[in-house]
């Protein structure tokens, strides 16, 4: 009986420490590098230069020999998918991203436009039977050994979507909103606290900082940003604003990287460019690449022609544990 209680107590302790986020292990290549592309706000059946961006992604993907692609959400316009058999999945994803280099895994979060459709369909494992590249969950982790990427479902944080009457949202498994978002943050905080990754990257659909059309997402500034700062997150990547953008945090080393230009872009829709923390803004279509080693990160933004329009890099020192 005593032994049974000890085993049960041990089990409960392990459960309390375990993160609630599903983790996907992505082994690093023999050369020790990790390379991936980031694109968002893309699913328009090839229109609005989506196909042109996809073409350049294929070329850069081959050049870099990428490991996978990260999507920052708004995967299917205008109102997500209607169901598991919606032809929009093939027309906006499978039939557009055909390049050999893009046949790697796609790790995807949901955007607000995705929530206007059948969310459960977009999350369904059935889509992987149609196209095995597709991995879409609400929140999860990509474990790439020296780097961990924490994918976060940000749409339910935005209060506006719960009161507006113009659009209908699929809030199944999200309500009550307060409980859901608290659990998302708790799971993320637990995962970040347990992470031993050299690089910590968080990905969500909505911007924390932006000078684009939507601007800052106040709910994320208030609730998510303090957690990122507390656990030494290096990069926050997002879409939502249809642009390419790089902003530095004023209170920490965090870099805010917007890649939401996978198709339709908003020309001239910008504010606050004179701020010193805004390192780059581009109001055309394009995407981003990320190249990582245990000690170095390099970010490059590309326009619709494949031209590099912005670069940024940082080096970290390896910390060795004293014996």
Residue 8: phi and psi, rounded to 5, are: -65, -45
Q: Which pLDDT score, from 0 to 100, does residue 274 have?
A: 67
CA gap 265, 249 in Å, rounded:
25
Mapping DSSP to helix (H, G, I), strand (E, B) and coil, where does residue 280 land? strand
The rounded distance, in Å, linking the Cα atoms of 22 and 202 is: 15
Element (H, E) at 22: strand 22-25
Q: DSSP letters of 225-269?
A: HHHHHHTT--EEEE-SSSSEEEEE-SSSS-EEEEE--SS---TT-
Residue 319, pLDDT score: 61
Each of the 323 residues of the chain gets a pLDDT tens digit; together they read: 433 333 333 333 333 334 489 999 999 988 899 999 999 999 999 999 999 999 999 999 999 999 999 999 999 999 999 999 999 999 999 999 999 999 999 999 999 999 999 999 999 999 999 999 999 999 999 999 999 999 999 999 999 999 999 999 999 999 999 999 999 999 999 999 999 999 999 999 999 999 999 999 999 999 999 999 999 999 999 999 999 999 999 999 999 999 999 999 988 878 777 677 999 999 999 999 999 999 999 999 999 999 999 999 999 987 644 44
For residue 97, give the nearest of 55, 59, 125 by alpha carbon: 55
CA–CA dist 294, 82 (Å, integer) = 42
Structure tokens at 89: 């999945």
Catalytic positions are 214
pLDDT at 275: 79
What's the CA gap between 42 and 91, in Å, rounded? 12
Token pair of 279 as six digits: 């390192």
Q: Name the DSSP class of 229.
A: H
Count of other CB atoms within 10 angstroms of residue 48:
18
Query: Looking at the DSSP assignment, which residues form a beta bridge with residue 36?
Result: 68, 290
Q: Rounded to an integer, what distance in angstroms lies between the CA atom of residue 223 and that of residue 304?
A: 34
What is d(CA 300, CA 35) in angstroms, rounded to the nearest whole number?
11
CA 19 to chain CA centroid, Å, is: 19
Give the separation between CA 65 and CA 90, rounded to whole angstroms: 24
Q: Which two tokens stand for residue 96?
A: 């557009």
What spatial distance separates the first Cα and last Cα of the chain, rounded to whole Å?
A: 41
Report residue 261 as tokens: 């230009």
Backbone angles phi, psi at 142, to 5 degrees: -105, 115
Phi–psi pair at 305, nearest 5 degrees: -100, 0
User: What does pTM read for this prediction?
Assistant: 0.92
Question: What is residue 268's predicted lDDT score, i.e. its pLDDT?
Answer: 82
Angstrom distance (rounded) from CA 116 to CA 80: 6
């Amino acid at each position: 009986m005593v032994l049974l209680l000890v085993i049960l107590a041990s089990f409960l302790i392990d459960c309390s420490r375990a993160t609630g986020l599903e983790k996907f292990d992505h082994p690093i290549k023999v050369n020790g590098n990790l390379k991936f592309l980031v694109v968002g706000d893309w699913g328009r059946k090839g229109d609005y230069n989506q196909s042109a961006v996809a073409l350049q992604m294929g070329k850069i993907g081959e050049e870099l020999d990428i490991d996978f692609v990260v999507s920052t959400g708004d995967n299917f316009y205008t109102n997500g998918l209607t169901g598991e058999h919606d032809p929009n999945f093939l027309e906006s994803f499978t039939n557009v991203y055909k390049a050999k280099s893009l046949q790697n895994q796609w790790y995807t979060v949901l955007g607000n436009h995705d929530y206007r459709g059948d969310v459960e369909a977009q999350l369904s494992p059935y889509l992987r039977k149609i196209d095995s590249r597709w991995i879409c969950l609400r929140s999860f982790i990509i474990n790439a050994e020296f780097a961990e990427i924490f994918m976060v479902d940000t749409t339910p944080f935005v209060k506006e979507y719960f009161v507006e009457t113009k659009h209908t949202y699929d809030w199944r498994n999200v309500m009550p909103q307060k409980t859901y978002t608290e659990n998302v943050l708790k799971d993320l905080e637990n995962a970040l606290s347990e992470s031993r990754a050299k690089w910590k990257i968080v990905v969500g659909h909505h911007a924390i900082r932006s000078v684009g059309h939507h601007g800052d997402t106040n709910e994320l500034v208030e609730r998510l940003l303090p957690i990122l700062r507390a656990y030494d997150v290096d990069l926050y990547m997002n879409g939502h604003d249809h642009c390419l953008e790089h902003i530095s945090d004023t209170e920490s080393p965090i870099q805010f990287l917007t890649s939401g230009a996978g198709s339709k872009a908003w020309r001239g829709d910008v504010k606050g460019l004179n701020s010193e923390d805004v390192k780059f803004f581009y109001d055309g279509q394009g995407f981003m690449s990320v190249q990582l080693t245990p000690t170095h990160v390099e970010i490059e933004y590309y326009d619709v022609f494949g031209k590099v329009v912005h670069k940024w890099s940082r080096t970290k020192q390896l910390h060795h544990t004293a014996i």
